[in-house]
Amino acid sequence: MTSTGSSITRFVERAGKKIPDPVIIFMAFYPLAFILTVLMAGYTFETPGAGGEPVQHQILGMHEAIHFRWIFDNALLANWLAFGGGVLGVILIVILAVGVAEQSGLFGALIKKAGNYLPESILPLLLIFIGILSSLATDAGYLILIPLAGLLYAGLGKNPLIGMAAAFAGVSAGFSANLIPGPVDAIIGLNAQVFAESQGIPFADGAGNALNPVTMHWLFIIVSTFVLSATGFFVTRWFVAPKLEGGEYVIPEDISPGEYAVSDQEHRGLLWAIPGTVLALALIVGLALGPLAAFTDESGTVVRPYMNNIILLISLFFVVTGLFYGAAVGKFKNLWNVVEAMVAQMNTMGYILVLTFFTYNFLGLLSYSGLGTWITFLGAEFLQALGLQQFPVLLLIGFVLTTAVINIFIGGLTSKWMLLGPIFIPMLYFVNPQMTPDLVAAAFRVADSSTNIITPMMAYAGVILAFMRKYRPDMGFGDMLLIMLPYSIAFLLVWTTLLVGFFVIGIPLGMEWLLS
């Protein structure tokens, strides 16, 4: 590495280490946002609505009595415990369920067993690939795969942060890729159709094929899954692993480096875990085909309750298999032992509870006051001011970069899409008819995912940091950012290049040509 490169690296490392803990960041952000609403109180701006009609927004002065009361009325329930559809409750439930399996010793035994069979050389590739696919299970990747990846590397005598970083990259930076369409495709596609058709724009691809809103990116996300898996693998091998391999970390008590032999007691527990697994799967299938089976509601929409409750079903799986293993090895001799396992796991949640209180209240303030919409609006205005309308590829790249930067400051895929989509789908199409709704939506997906892993605004940023601190207690957000930055840069560059390649060559993003 050149001296200039080394200097830049050292500067970035020093700067990263000076970034405060996320709790401190959001403690500071809240009063700053409050003061900004006071200074901008009454400021209005317009954005295009879903139907093309102008929508007026206004910054609310939070110092006014009615809005000040809102802060206190919503601080505990709406802005903390119920924020994001009750995401905190989801986190707590999963921690309880995983605690049964982890405290029973099941994970430790599985990891020792796996150490004899899994080829270490391709572990990052497998973790990233599985992480990308986990978006179908909504939050499961964040709450289950990432901590499991750390346990797996710890069992192999490697720095657990390597595995957790690879899994985090797949789960979060590769969030919009997959092998089959999922919830993200429905959210993006159905709204894109509304944005386009309400303004007289044909909902068709560059070849004129009518688009299916859910499958309009199917080919692109399939290719993206393999491209990003390979990209993340090489980033792990070339950048992340070499940097972390010599670093210090704490080994979990139930795993020691080099001790891969499974004891007779553990072997018996694993054998008993097999019928536990069968029973758990039978229960899940029974629920999915029974009370949680798919149905068509009065509006003709197909509702899949089993997908809406995937986290609870996964939690059920861990509880049942953990109970079978724990009983077989003598860890769970009575019901109180199970309760103790849950309590032990919940002892790690103190930091997350403190963090989410400040984080979710700050994000609630942004949403209520209109500051979040205004920040996104500024990003859109900046992109239009660049004057790239006559250069479609540069405009596409500019849209990706602008959205990627906005994502660092404002979380939430749906909220950003609901604001940016109505602006850019018609704007880019009228500049050049090749800039079809599916292309613009794909560009948004690339940008929104790539910077998820380097922003404290992402809902699970603090949760992942807490997981990593299990192995490195003094770890700060700046340290996590430095670990994940190579993935973010690589994913953004490679994924944008892939999208531009699809556009320039004329490859359809979806499967309409095959399904028609």
Q: Taking 50 as the threshold, does the pLDDT of residue 142 lie above it?
A: yes
Q: pLDDT tens across 29-50, in order?
A: 899 999 999 999 999 988 776 5
Three-class SS state of 329: helix
* Residue 14: pLDDT over 50: yes
pLDDT one-digit tens code per residue, 75-100: 888 888 887 667 677 778 877 887 88
pLDDT score of 255: 57
Q: What percent of the chain has pLDDT over 90?
A: 33
Distances (CA, A) of 226 to 172, 178, 181, 220, 249: 15, 9, 15, 10, 31
Residue 516 pLDDT: 46
- Banded model confidence at residue 1, pLDDT cuts 50, 70, 90: very low
Cβ(502)–Cβ(220) below 8 Å:
yes
Residue 330 pLDDT = 92
Q: State the pLDDT confidence band at 271, using cuts at 50, 70 and 90.
A: very high
Q: What percent of the chain has pLDDT over 70?
A: 85
Q: Is the pLDDT of residue 65 over 70?
A: yes
**pLDDT given at position 111:** 63
pLDDT in tens, 331-390: 999 999 999 888 887 876 777 788 778 878 887 898 899 887 787 677 667 767 777 667
Is this model's pTM higher than 0.85 or not?
Answer: no
Within 10 angstroms of residue 440's Cβ, the number of other Cβ atoms is 25
Higher per-residue pLDDT: 456 or 139:
456
Q: Is the pLDDT of residue 245 over 50?
A: yes
pLDDT of 140 reads 63
| Model pLDDT for residues 396-418, shown as the tens digit of each residue | 898 898 889 888 877 667 667 76
pLDDT at 10: 59
Contact (CB, 8 A) for 359 and 22: yes
> Average pLDDT of 225-252?
91
Pairwise CA distance, residues 320 & 276, whole Å: 6
Which of the two residues, 80 and 63, has the higher pLDDT score? Answer: 63
Residue 155 pLDDT greater than 60, yes or no: yes
Tell me how far apart the alpha carbons of residues 254 and 107 are, in angstroms, rounded to a whole number: 9
Mean pLDDT across the chain? 83
**Cα–Cα dist 155/110, whole Å:** 9
Neighbour tally for 93: CB within 10 Å: 16
Between 379 and 270, whose confidence is greater?
270
* pLDDT score at 165: 96
Task: Give the CA count within 13 Å in the CB-facing half-sphere of 114.
Answer: 19
237: confidence class by pLDDT, cuts 50, 70, 90:
very high
Torsion on CA atoms 55, 435, 494, 222, rounded to nearest 10: 100
| 129 burial level (CB within 10 Å; 0-12, 13-18, 19+) | buried
Asked if residue 134 has pLDDT above 60, the reply is: yes
Region 252-262: mean pLDDT is 59
Q: Where are the alpha helices (DSSP H) in 140-263?
A: 140, 146-155, 160-168, 183-197, 218-235, 241-244
Contact status, residue 273 vs residue 325, Cβ threshold 8 Å: yes
Most confident of 2-11, 35-44, 294-303, 376-385: 35-44
Q: Which of 8-17, 126-135, 299-308, 324-333 has the lowest mean pLDDT?
A: 8-17
Top-ranked range on mean pLDDT: pick from 84-88, 104-108, 257-261: 104-108
pLDDT-derived band at 515, boundaries 50, 70, 90: very low
